[in-house]
Amino acid sequence: MDLSRLGLAAAALPSGVPARRCPVDSIGLLTACRVMWEQGGRLVALWACDDRDRDRGYQINVVLQDGDGLTLLEHSLQTSESTYPDLAVVFPAANRMQRAAFDLVGIASEAEDQRPWVWQASWPIDCFPLRRDFEASPNWQPGQEEYPFVRVEGDGVHEIPVGPVHAGTIEPGHFRFQVVGEKVLRLEERLSFVHKGIEKRFEAMDAATGHRLAGRISGDSTVAYAWSYVQALEAIAGTALPPRALWLRALVLERERIANHLGDLGYLGNDGGFAFGLAQFSRLKEHVLRTNSIAFAHRLAMDYVVPGGVARDLAPAAAAAMRDECTMLEREIGTLKHIYDEHEGLQDRFRSCGIVTPALAAKLGLTGLAGRASGQAHDLRCDFGCAPYDALDVRRAAAVAGDVAARVAVRFDEAIESLRLVRAIIDAMPDGDIDVPVAEPPAFRKGLGYVEGWRGPVLVGLECGPEGTIRRCHPHDPSWSNWPVLEHAVIGNIVPDFPLINKSFNLTYSGHDL
Amino acid sequence: MLHILRQIARTGIKTDPAPAADHALAVADRLQADVLKTLGRALTIRHVDAGSCNGCELEIHALGNPYYNIEGLGIRFVASPRHADLLLVTGPVSKHMAIALQRTYDATPDPKLVVAVGDCGCTGGIFGESYASLGRVGNVIPVDVEIPGCPPTPTALLQGILAAITARPPVTASAHER
């Protein structure tokens, strides 16, 4: 998007992908969002900062993405009474981000919907945790709020509340179904149950150790988050990475993708009434994790990605084991895909279930894996091709049906493609160092990290403080965009299909609730 | 159907031998004798995520895969705390989950066991205690066994769960009342 046409001046922004920053007033903020939307751009993230200690009031940060890269719009508000335009009229996914920004920093949008999103009555409603003068009191007890769910009225309509403690080994959240018979008329999500103060916690850490916390934002995406965090840090500090370190990071990221896709393919079979699929795919996933344990000293490769590189080199024996594993997995996944494809009972559950049409996906901003199953052909590994992906010619998975079957198909395609990438990475891995020292990042500089995790693109917005501290860190999961779309995907489906539809998206709670 | 049967036959049995119980993980002798008398080793577990990053959940899931085959040991995960003998709790306990965790504990019939999972469940981990986090599980409900690790491996989880339900010498019956 050409910002100068709007009379806006942009400056370069440190980032792992092409990025710029642009100060805007409230009209500029809304106009830039509208023009971006008209030209096919998307909302990535929105968050607020308290900059009063630097005489800058409060700041709303909005990250947009188009074919040129990322644009960070920065809008300053002088007092806490100032408001900013409701961006949900352009990008519906902004709704919850704006509500979260208010709960944490106390800056309100002009939206009609001002219900709390992060706040659940466990601290006073007029205290804002991410303000710099916030002090927690030991007297604050866990509370319970009366959340105003939207109710459907009419003959035979009833309500089913589910959660926060769910019936399986999954994360907590609340789902409120309005149903007639077994048909879902409306689903409303209430999240933030696992809000544990991650953004505040970052501010008590050094930039050089923040990757450990980043790697624990969403355990299934530990590599994507850690990489995104260090990418932002290294961009701010001006660190040039040795090529081998980047290739090793890509190796663990692809292995994280394979492990999660295998796990999901098993559970999707299971939720479709086909326990055989779970037994088979969970066996294959375990194989991947055991190889990880040998190669990276951790089954999920936590703390493998570190500032300046990676924690240990890849031993030749581990590389050989991975190559053999790729051959085994390609064969096994091929066999299982054939079994899934020809299993009528399973396909009957998958097809036409939980549909998100490409038009709806575009309108609501569906992103990542689920987006690619609904015709939203975005994948950072292809779109911006940062090293080493620029040398790997990644094939982007794509489907348009937007149903559970399409999200299953995208997982199969991506798992197979990631196996090809793992082999290609091992074969073409450059020699050299696996890490370099990272200089102390300059104070008050912002940077962005942006990495295509298995679920979708993971953004980290980082601002460093004096002496290597973290001034503000906002990690942003693609689930922020996709959770609201799940509410649409289940409309008209039957209640017993909800677990299957939910699993086909497999969104994060912890990564969203922070 | 033939493909399925062939794949089952080709896969064979993958289950590893179960590890021994690790009694060093036990932090309380609460109700041990009662539980054993009542349950033997047929145990039902209700998992509660009280604030985890989901890393521990991935490894709890792995307990069900053919390599660890937890059901082969007579242990099942159930959908309601009312059906459970043991609560497997991951954390740190977020403030927003504290009431739900307490209610889940209250809904679990006596005698019951609680196993805290992961560094966060045992100590609060990297998240610690804050305006939003109450830290370790033991700060909210009584805990019998703590399994550290970030996340603990499936083997460590099995060792901890088995420690909660197998007799250890000397067996004490001192009830640790809340």
Rg (alpha carbons) of chain B, rounded to whole number? 17
Residue A359 CB partners (closer than 8 Å, separation 6+)? none
Give, as one character, the DSSP assignment of residue A20. E
Interface test with A, best of B2, B44, B96 (most A CBs within 10 A): B96
C-beta atoms of B96 and A192 within 8 A: yes
| Whole-number pLDDT of residue B25 | 82
Query: pLDDT 10s digit of each residue in chain A, 514 long?
Result: 788 888 888 899 999 999 999 999 999 999 999 999 999 999 999 999 999 999 999 999 999 999 999 999 999 999 988 999 999 999 999 999 999 999 999 999 999 999 999 999 999 999 999 999 999 988 899 988 889 999 998 999 999 999 899 888 889 999 999 999 999 999 999 999 999 999 999 999 999 999 999 999 999 999 999 999 999 999 999 999 999 999 999 999 999 999 999 999 999 999 999 999 999 999 999 999 999 999 999 999 999 999 999 999 999 999 999 999 999 999 999 999 999 999 999 999 999 999 999 999 999 999 999 999 999 999 999 999 788 999 999 999 999 999 999 999 999 999 999 999 999 999 999 999 999 999 999 999 999 999 999 999 999 999 999 999 999 999 999 999 999 999 999 999 999 999 999 999 999 999 999 9
Three-state secondary structure call for residue A53: helix
State how far the Cα of A453 lies from the Cα of A227, in Å rounded to an integer.
10
Of all residues in chain B, the one with the smallest CA distance to A129 is B131
User: Whole-prediction pTM value?
Assistant: 0.95
Q: What are phi and psi of A186, to 5 degrees?
A: -160, 140
| Residue A134 structure tokens | 């916030």
**Is A220 at the interface with chain B, CB within 8 A?**
yes
Of all residues in chain A, the one with the smallest CA distance to B153 is A299
| Residue B175 structure tokens | 């009830």
Three-state secondary structure call for residue B78: coil
Q: What are phi and psi of A140, to 5 degrees?
A: -70, 120
Percentages of chain B per state (helix, strand, coil), in multiples of 5: 40, 15, 45
User: Which ipTM value was assigned to this complex?
Assistant: 0.94
- Cα A287 to chain centroid distance, Å, stands at 26
Q: Give yes or no for a cis peptide into B111 (omega within 30° of 0).
A: yes
Nearest to B97 among A194, A198, A219 (CB): A194
**Contacting B residues, span 93-152, partner chain A, CB-CB under 8 Å:** 94-100, 104, 125-128, 130-134, 150-151
State how far the Cα of A77 lies from the Cα of A84, in Å rounded to an integer.
8
| Residue A481 structure tokens | 């965009």
State how far the Cα of B119 lies from the Cα of A213, in Å rounded to an integer.
13
Which is more confident, B111 or A403? Answer: A403
Question: Which residues of chain A make contact with B129, given a CB cutoff of 8 A?
Answer: none
| Beta carbons of A468 and A207 less than 8 angstroms apart | yes
Question: DSSP per residue over B79-114, as a string?
Answer: S-GGG-SEEEEESS-BHHHHHHHHHHHHHSPSS-EE
Query: How far is the alpha carbon of B57 from chain A, nearest alpha carbon, in Å?
Result: 7
As a dihedral over the C-alpha atoms of residue B102, residue B108, residue B110, residue B116, rounded to 10 degrees, the angle is -60
